[in-house]
Amino acid sequence: MLESDQFEVAVLGSGTGGYTAAIRAAQLGKKTAIIEVAKLGGTCLHIGCIPTKALLESSGLYHKLHDRGQEFGILAPEVAFDYDRIASRRDGVVNQLWKGVQGLMRKNRIEVIYGCGLLEGDGRIRIGDRVIQASAIIVATGSSPKPLPGIQFDGERVINSDHATLAGKLPESVAIIGAGAVGVEFATFYRQMGCTVTLIEALDRLVPLEDEEVSRALLQAFQKAGIDCRVKARVLDARPGRGQVTVQLEDGELRASQLLIAVGRGPNSQGVGLEAAGVEVDQRGFVKVDEWMRTSAPGVWAIGDLVGGYLLAHAAAHEGVIAAEDIAGRRLHPMEQELVTRCTYSTPEIASVGLTEAEARERGYEVKVGKFPLVANARAIIHGETQGFGKVVADARTGQLLGAHVVGVQATELIAEPALARLFQGDPWEIGRNIHPHPTLSETIGEAALAADGVALNI
Ligand code: NAD
């Protein structure tokens, strides 16, 4: 085999997990290749986190000016939107970051090989006619939206998050099945843009993986915003027709111009050659890995959505760093799911880390809880965004922070502080001692931490 086809590390898939793994491997002196069938940057950059947050930036601004401008003394009676420009700004944001990733590959001398990579075993990867050899392989092929059995995506009436993200126009009305991250983010976007929105969730609350109080706060905010939320709702069938979709629920039917199915994502584990490489997957197709991201096959690591856990870009990137460091013989820290921050960019935003209150009790902790409402925070009042709260969950016996939950404006920025406190195995008492700048939303976290010991100052 030619020397140019031999690498120390080959990464299959260039999403946030894959390209971060490649950068870390190259930083550690490894001759690295990355293989990508589509565009560098993967789901997060092209059809996920980035374009959807760009859309939400436009919808949030439109909503604030259109529906609340006068409250802030802004008189702009003609506030309107041009969806083509919203879409081209979305694409501009993506392109800017895409160029950035391409530049990072060049800067780190990572060879980018375009094409569909297939593992052949013994460190070989076939990309079309070319076969490369790598001492270590990191598989990072990601995930795809799951369909609902019996209901086909047609990309027009019945769509998934890929279609919704890249759409060139808005539906008049939309029904969304699933109130996880995708469902509540798109419910926010469509509602802020003035569409009629029905949100259908099978379980008994929105964002069922979050703390129960967070779900309640979101439900209240969504209802106030005019989103029709149906929980404990079973979808029996959906039929696209002329100009609309009819969704059959157990307790009646509803019609909307579009149906967005947001019931989770499944691993891209087919057609990768996992079997040939001896990589074991679980019943749902997720690759089994240990806390160093090693698979069952020597010389093969796997990261990101492909391995399950939290299907989040920042978790994937972190796993990529762990895998690359392990390959280079530097076991610095294992992957810990409980340190992954979870962020949902609905309005209000939701962010969390560690255990919910219910999970902490289920695990047998004697729990103490501190909560502080945004309505008592000066900056939130200035923003005119007083819905929500910060909440910390701690072990009453040792004082240690177990989890933190924020629902409200900029929750996704605020979670970094309690996440760091968890990493340092800190206590709410220490967060409370941190001198938070005033007036900032971050004071909500400090006050919630103080509240865990009954000494919040501003409530
Ligand atoms: P999800 O698993 O987060 O939520 C799916 C929801 O659909 C659940 O609440 C589930 O109970 C519900 N559901 C399932 N079947 C149903 C049915 N037949 N009828 C009604 N409800 C049903 O999945 P998602 O929202 O599609 O997101 C996919 C993945 O992508 C998740 O892992 C998510 O964390 C990730 N993601 C993250 C972000 C973010 O972090 N901001 C944004 C988008 C997606």
In this predicted model, what pLDDT tens digit does every residue of 12-65 receive, in sequence order? 999 999 999 999 999 999 999 999 999 999 999 999 999 999 999 999 999 999
Which residues, including other chains, have CB under 8 Å from residue 320's CB and lie 6 or more apart? 11, 16, 17, 18, 19, 20, 21, 22, 24, 138, 140, 303, 304
Tell me what pLDDT residue 65 has. 97
| Catalytic-residue membership of 314 | no
Tokens 């009436």 locate to: 157
List the structure tokens of 138. 């990191």
**Cβ(157)–Cβ(40) under 8 Å?**
no
CA 166 – ligand 1 centroid, Å: 19
pLDDT tens per residue, the chain (459 residues)? 899 999 999 999 999 999 999 999 999 999 999 999 999 999 999 999 999 999 999 999 999 999 999 999 999 989 999 999 999 999 999 999 999 999 999 999 999 999 999 999 999 999 999 999 999 999 999 999 999 999 999 999 999 999 999 999 999 999 999 999 999 999 999 999 999 999 999 999 999 999 999 999 999 999 999 999 999 999 999 999 988 999 999 999 999 999 999 999 999 999 999 999 999 999 999 999 999 999 999 999 999 999 999 999 999 999 999 999 999 999 889 999 999 999 999 999 999 999 999 999 999 999 999 999 999 999 999 999 999 999 999 999 999 999 999 999 999 999 999 999 999 999 999 999 999 999 999 999 999 999 999 999 999
| Residue 301, ligand 1, Cβ within 6 A | no
Distance CA 11, CA 325 (A): 14
311 CA closest ligand 1 atom index:
32
Q: Where are the beta strands (DSSP E) in 294-453?
A: 300-302, 342-344, 349-354, 367-373, 389-395, 401-408
CA 129 – ligand 1 centroid, Å: 38
Tokens 């076991």 locate to: 331
Which of 311, 340, 345 most suits a substitution to test ligand 1, by most atoms within 8 Å of the C-beta? 311
Beta bridge partners of 248: 237, 253
Distance CA 358, CA 126 (A): 48
Backbone φ and ψ of 191, nearest 5°: -65, -45
Tokens 């950068």 locate to: 23
Count, residues in the chain: 459
| Residue 148, ligand 1, Cβ within 6 A | yes
Closest CA to 207 of 351, 87, 82, 396: 351
Distances (CA, A) of 125 to 122, 227, 344: 9, 48, 36
**Cβ(142)–Cβ(268) under 8 Å?**
yes
Backbone φ and ψ of 105, nearest 5°: -65, -45
Tokens 């069952």 locate to: 296
CA 145 – ligand 1 centroid, Å: 9
List the structure tokens of 301. 């690591």
Burial (CB < 10 A; 0-12, 13-18, 19+), residue 288, is middle
Tell me what pLDDT residue 77 has. 85
Q: What is the DSSP letter of 61?
A: H
Q: Cα dihedral sign for 157, 160, 164, 168?
A: negative
| Residue 200, ligand 1, Cβ within 6 A | yes
CA 184 – ligand 1 centroid, Å: 9
| Residue 183, ligand 1, Cβ within 6 A | yes
| Residue 176, ligand 1, Cβ within 6 A | no
Strands 349-354, 342-344: parallel, antiparallel or unpaired by DSSP? antiparallel
Q: What is the DSSP track for 432-447?
A: HHS---TT-TTHHHHH
pTM > 0.75: yes or no: yes
Tell me what pLDDT residue 434 has. 97
| Residue 311, ligand 1, Cβ within 6 A | yes
Q: What is the DSSP letter of 348?
A: S
Tell me what pLDDT residue 332 has. 85
Protein residue whose Cα sits closest to atom 12 of ligand 1 = 178
| H or E stretch at 144 | strand 143-145
